[in-house]
Copies of this chain bind each other. A is one copy, B any other.
Amino acid sequence: MQTELTVAQAERLIRETVPTWPAETVALDAAAGRVLRQNVLAERDLPPYDRATMDGIAMRWRAWSAGQREFPLEGMQSAGQAPGALSNAGAAWRIATGAPLPRGADTVVPVERLSETNGGVRVDDDYRPKRGQFIHTQGSDRRAGALLLKEGQRIGGVEMALLSANGVARPRVAPDPRIALVSTGDELVGLDSRPESWQVRSSNGPAMSALLARRGFGRVTAAHAPDEPEALAERIRTALSGSDALILSGGVSKGAKDYVPGVLTELGARPLLHRIRQRPGFPLWFGMHGEKPVFGLPGNPVSSLVCLRRYVIPALEKAQGAPSPAPEHATLTKDATFKPSLTWFLPVRLATDSDGRLLAHPRPTNTSGDFASLARTDGFAQLPAHRSRFPSGRPVRIFRWNG
């Protein structure tokens, strides 16, 4: 087991350890928010036909170019109808936006440039159509077979448009993992109890569930366990049996009642990492139970949310087959000082200025129990261990709660 690793070492160890879950196929309407686990190629040319982009007439440009201004109309070409055909070089069809170009036509003249005549239309004298205008030509966006979506992308609006348009009725996607949360601590009482003055209400379960939900993880169950080895073991066994990943909070420090690492090991988890050179979150524990990642996060609300965002969510996303996101940087707007030679996760509020600089406004907490100070923060900055002064104006790496 590794101990007191740096943040970078811990991140690498976790990333290299966590397996990639096997893909599954789901109905397309259940795929929103999932990580795509296949490439998507264009099924047909995009667009699949020469498509009018204006309402007007479809005609042959050479007829206009040879001096013809009045066009007899042979029909109406609507969207969704098989394309008609010009019967001769001087004919035209009415056409609607989105309709396929009738055979023989090569140009669309918009309705605003036409006047009605007896049985036809007349192109305005002062109007000069360009050959091929107002046609979205077949295959001009992408050719059939072109790569449209790459494996690893999370399915949002754009990805769903491309999956639908290409008829991918059952895409291969990453599973939506079952995540079990177990919070420990005898000082915790439930939402329905009135806490004694020395007790606090349990908040890590709901908070971690909500953060996971905002990142697309919807199958989360939360339970509480007392600071007592037998009961804790029983709770962990249950949680492990019904989940793909286990996240505990509390019970990982050096105190007499910090049973989590010992109980996990007894239950067959392989301990891989304990303690990271960081604040908050120093006591973090990580191991594997069979193929299931197990995280023991410190119980303070700030520590558990920071560690969830910094380590657990990237590990879950890696297991889903998503590539590592590009690091994000912002500029500190206030001096910050931190003496210990530990990496410091400093909560920040993010905003851009009108020049397009991303600004990180520090919102330091009193202690790692001071979660009231997290209200209205957008995430945290990661400030390196080998410095103690972080002046205003310095670019720093940031992590968004929801980003």
Determine the chain B residues whose CB is within 8 A of the CB of A301 once the complex forms. 161, 165
- A42 in the interface (beta carbon within 8 A): yes
Given the interface contacts A141-B373, A256-B55, A352-B329, does A201 sit within 8 Å of B164 by beta carbon? yes
Complex Cα–Cα for A257 and B44 (A): 27
Determine the chain B residues whose CB is within 8 A of the CB of A195 once the complex forms. 44, 48, 167
- A321 in the interface (beta carbon within 8 A): no
In A85-135, the 8 Å CB interface with B consists of: 94, 96-100, 111
| A403 and chain B: residue at smallest CB distance | B403
Pick the contact of A254 from B55, B196, B353 — CB < 8 Å? B55
Question: Is A48 within 8 A of B197, CB to CB?
Answer: yes
Determine the chain B residues whose CB is within 8 A of the CB of A377 once the complex forms. 158
Q: A5-33 toward B: CB 8 Å interface, digit per residue (1/0)?
A: 00000000000000000000000110011
Complex Cα–Cα for A76 and B83 (A): 87
Pick the contact of A167 from B47, B201, B204, B373 — CB < 8 Å? B201
**Shortest distance in angstroms between A82's beta carbon and chain B's nearest beta carbon?**
6
**Shortest distance in angstroms between A61's beta carbon and chain B's nearest beta carbon?**
19
- A192 in the interface (beta carbon within 8 A): yes
Given the interface contacts A164-B191, A206-B28, does A395 sit within 8 Å of B211 by beta carbon? no
Pick the contact of A141 from B196, B199, B356, B370 — CB < 8 Å? B370
Question: Is A96 within 8 A of B255, CB to CB?
Answer: yes
Complex Cα–Cα for A73 and B53 (A): 85
| A207 and chain B: residue at smallest CB distance | B161
Question: Is A162 within 8 A of B375, CB to CB?
Answer: yes
- A272 in the interface (beta carbon within 8 A): no
Question: Is B353 within 8 A of A76, CB to CB?
Answer: no
- A294 in the interface (beta carbon within 8 A): no
- A157 in the interface (beta carbon within 8 A): yes
Supplied contacts A97-B255, A328-B352, A329-B356, 20 more A-B pairs, CB within 8 Å: A32-B209, A33-B214, A53-B368, A55-B253, A80-B186, A80-B188, A80-B198, A82-B198, A96-B255, A96-B257, A141-B373, A155-B210, A160-B203, A160-B209, A161-B204, A164-B191, A165-B301, A330-B352, A331-B355, A356-B358
